[in-house]
Amino acid sequence: MNIEKNLIFIKGEDKTDKVEYCKYNSFTKKYDVTFSSGAIFSYNYNNVVWIRDAKDINIDNKVVYVKDKPLVTVKKVISFGDYIRVIHTNGYNELYKRNDITIEESCLKNPKANNCFQYLKDLSKSMGLMLDGSKTFLGKQYDKVTYISPKSALAFYLNPEHLEEHRSIKNIIFPFGFNLSQREATEKAFANKVSVIEGPPGTGKTQTILNIIANAIMNDKTVAVVSNNNSATENVYEKLSKYNLGFIAATLGRRENKENFINNQSGTYVDMTRWKLEPSEKQSIIERINKSKDEISNMLSKKNKLANIKNELSELKLEKKHFEKEYLSEDVANLKYNTISQLKADSIMKLLIELELYGKGLEKVPIKIRVKNLFKYGIYNFKFYSNPIDEVLDYLYYLYYKNKENEINNDIEKIERELRIFNFDNELKEYSNNALKIFKDKLSKNYSKNSSRQVFTEEDLWKRFDKVINEYPVILSTTHSLRNCIPDNLLIDYLIVDEASQVDILTGALALSCAKNVVVVGDLMQLPNVISEEDKKISKKIFDTYKLKDAYDFSNNNLLSSITGLNNGIKKTLLKEHYRCHPKIINFCNKEFYNDELIILTEEKEGDSPLVLYKTKEGNHARGTINIRQIDVIKDEVLPKLKDEKSIAVILPYRKQTDELSRIIGDTVEADTVHKFQGREKDVVILSTVSNEINDFVDNSNLINVAISRAVKKLIVVTSDFENVDSNIGDLIKYIQYNNLEVVESEVSSIFDLLYKSYGEKLVETIKNSKKVSNFDSENLMYALIEEVLSKSEFANLSAAIHVPLRMIIRNTEKLTAEERKFVLNPWTHTDFLIYSKLDKKPVLVVEVDGYKYHAQNKKQLERDKRKDKILEKYNVPIIRFSTTGSGEKKSLEDKLRKVI
């Protein structure tokens, strides 16, 4: 019978192609069936199902999937109600249940998606390696793409208006350990079609990737891990192998990798006999890890809090040393008042603020305030107030530092005690070991069907890929080669793009076409992909002919920046916990590049000297990209002090300087450009800037960030004097000098950051609760505006303080007249706001708020304003004034900051 018009089941089996004729016999109430062989049989009515309601399904420009596996060579698809018949070009036919069949139309049917893909296709013809006189490698790859699954990650990328969310996988496990950020990143990877993991240096990107792989396999999913280079994927394979799990991954991609895979198959499995768990044992372990996961997460939160408190303590102690060195007089240091010295730091700060608010302008503290403080703070010794008001204030500043330090130490001891009682390290280790047992149990069941492992041929990689990926559920490849590893239209469940900031959008899009879901892993503050100036011009010209979002601009984006720029709803996780560098080293990157969001879990020891600065003298030592003077300093001054160090790197911006240094010092120390050290680390890093002038290449923030964050124990910077240049190198010099308590020739002091942060918080709190100080409303509004402006990424390394006394800004008063000196040294003379650098705490801009009634109609105040302006001008401290009756303050402040920094 015609299989395209009929479907006949006999006793539940499809016999259509074997039946010649079929007729229902009303007399016998049976079906009389004539087979192609000529044989005739009669069947009970219930044993024959004859469906004649056939409908052809249009499959033009569509792909037919059977349980997510694409069918090739499909000629025709016919619907028989609950069944679908598929006829192939060679005449072979198959019958499937309707629920097992999916027929998909290419996402390119959508005009927006098609427009974007045509842009990428046009771009591919001009970018990348030329294969012959007319086609590039990428162009050839894109020409092969005629269909893009609407379920693919690429479909979202081409038309990112709608974000899909999934039901999160339950019972996520972490066999490779975890912290809070890694847990969040892993959970988001399985709850969203597209997710982004931002991984600053030393935050455990690879560990997170391994946990995602494990949970995918636990749920019978497949994974592809790709990057723009083999070293990143090799790192994943090495980490898997460390746990005896390398056998789950196939390193494919370029021809050499495929050949190695084919030639090195052992035909055997690792010994998994001890991996299989008894049901009761497995259930017991699952219950333990589910219970302990949340307990450990709670303790991880405490551990992070501990790390932040330790960092605060370190910064407070450093600031206290600056205060004692630059500001504290011996007389004030020797003052002793027991009742006051026992006050908490918080109370001392409140006392300071109340003295300013209610005693401002007075040379002595009024009796009513003394009485009030007796009852409020227990200050019964009124002799304290007989000291000059500036000494009273300075003593309270000093006490704040001392008592705050003691309080932080108590907090640290309390949390450390909790972690010891919980036995944190052992609990985390036990959890990871148990989770690994569950994962290995799953693998032992997956591979228990066969005693020997199937050995695949090169032909199998494309003809029987479903068998390959069943054996090797993890595929490792480069982004541009992944499509060559996977049959057309087959989708991997999860694509993980590592080091995505180095992946261009063309090769990245090709990889996205191969997977249903994507996890994009990278760091926009580390090395981006390199695009030549010529390619930038060509790609920009092509981009300008299409109406697309800026995120698709090849010349200005990599895959990471492109995806994060397409849709604000994309779920992102910043891996915050840092485990590599000495706190003082990574804290520069934290402040300069990561907006103080990193949680530094490495330990700082008393007496550590992690930061060293060599400033070379001016002279004619630099010739283009070679600086002989800096080479001499490295050879004669730096390296002799590092004889006991075995792990040293010299990082330089230029190849010629690298070659010259290697020629002079030999191969005893590894010297190279920063690109060669991405993803690596050394105990000691010597960073040489080479050039005597700052330029975009030497001062590139990505290069500087990567170079610094390679250093585990010590960072040594050899540089010309860029201290006063607004640059990353200039900021690094200032940061090192501030942290090393170096004497810097300057007429203005560093701001006492933590002191005035606390002061500002308590001042705002006091103002809110006080009826007397309603005139501070305008300052409150300005403070909110300053905070808003400083939240912008371009001002990320700036901070602001309220009411900083002028005497704490002006260090040397020699430039001042007697009247000006008196004005500056008056303890009540302060700025409204001071914006300063987070790195060396130096003033950047003074912001003053002039109330109309208080300033415009007050001659004395106007004179004081002019005097303050003149003093700040003498010391090159920029100032901007805002009237409470003015407008456009935000733009004015932003413009002023851009001008002065």
Stretch 170-185: mean pLDDT, rounded?
A: 96
Q: 3-class DSSP state for residue 733? A: helix
Is residue 837 located within the same domain as residue 767? yes
Neighbours of 568 (CB within 10 A): 8
Is residue 466 located within the same domain as residue 390? no
Is residue 94 located within the same domain as residue 133? no
Regarding beta strands 30-35 and 40-44, do their DSSP bridges make them parallel or antiparallel, or are they unpaired? antiparallel
Question: 344's torsion region: left (phi>0), alpha (psi -120 to 50) or beta?
Answer: beta
Q: Is residue 746 part of a domain?
A: no
Q: Identify the residue with better confidence: 767 or 481.
A: 481
- Structure confidence by residue, pLDDT tens digits, 413-459: 999 999 999 999 999 999 999 999 999 999 999 998 888 899 999 99
CATH number at residue 636: 3.40.50.300
Query: Cα-Cα-Cα-Cα dihedral of 602, 607, 609, 614, to 10°?
Result: 160
**In this predicted structure, which of 43-57, 174-188, 240-254, 351-365 has the lowest mean pLDDT?**
351-365
Local structure of residue 174 (DSSP, 8 states) = -
pLDDT higher than 60, residue 189: yes
Regarding beta strands 492-497 and 223-227, do their DSSP bridges make them parallel or antiparallel, or are they unpaired? parallel
Is residue 641 located within the same domain as residue 501? no
Q: Hey, which residues does 34 pair with through a beta bridge?
A: 21, 40
What's the token pair of residue 795?
A: 């001002």
Q: Which residues of 440-477 are buried (b: 16+ CB within 10 A; e: fewer)?
A: bbbbbeebeeeeeeeebeeeebeeebeebbebbbbbbb
Identify the CA nearest to 358 among candidates 368, 349, 345. Answer: 368
Identify the CA nearest to 495 among candidates 180, 768, 789, 152. Answer: 152
To the nearest whole number, what is the mean pLDDT of the chain? 90
What's the token pair of residue 197?
A: 């993991």
Q: Identify the residue with better confidence: 695 or 519.
A: 519
Q: Is residue 637 part of a domain?
A: yes
Is residue 329 located within the same domain as residue 238? no
Is residue 715 located within the same domain as residue 762? no
Q: Look-up: residue for tokens 């090799």? A: 234
Q: Is residue 445 part of a domain?
A: no
Q: Look-up: residue for tokens 């012959």? A: 132
In degrees, rounded to 5, the angle at the alpha carbon of residue 400 between the alpha carbons of residues 395 and 401 is: 105
- Structure confidence by residue, pLDDT tens digits, 31-66: 999 999 999 999 999 999 999 999 999 998 899 999
CA distance 332 to 329: 5
Residue 565 lies in domain = 119-269+450-575
Q: Is residue 747 part of a domain?
A: no
Domains identified in the chain, total number: 5
Q: Identify the residue with better confidence: 625 or 740.
A: 740
pLDDT value for 231 = 87
CA distance readout (Å), 80 to 11, 215, 781: 18, 39, 72
Q: Is residue 590 part of a domain?
A: no
pLDDT value for 356 = 78
Spatial strand order of the sheet with 7-10 comes to: 13-14, 7-10, 48-51
Neighbours of 547 (CB within 10 A): 8
Amino acid letter, 463? K
pLDDT higher than 90, residue 604: yes
pLDDT value for 697 = 65
pLDDT band at 106; cut points 50, 70, 90? very high
Is residue 718 located within the same domain as residue 767? no
pLDDT band at 772; cut points 50, 70, 90? very low
Q: Is residue 335 part of a domain?
A: yes
What's the token pair of residue 555?
A: 């010349």
Q: Is residue 591 part of a domain?
A: no
- Structure confidence by residue, pLDDT tens digits, 137-149: 888 899 999 899 9
Which of these three, 740, 763, 796, is where a domain ends? 740
pLDDT band at 744; cut points 50, 70, 90? low
Is residue 138 located within the same domain as residue 16? no
Is residue 99 located within the same domain as residue 124? no
CATH number at residue 788: 3.40.1350
Is residue 139 located within the same domain as residue 248? yes
Is residue 73 located within the same domain as residue 173? no
Q: Is residue 215 part of a domain?
A: yes
Is residue 381 located within the same domain as residue 259? no
> 849, 884 in Cβ contact below 8 A?
yes
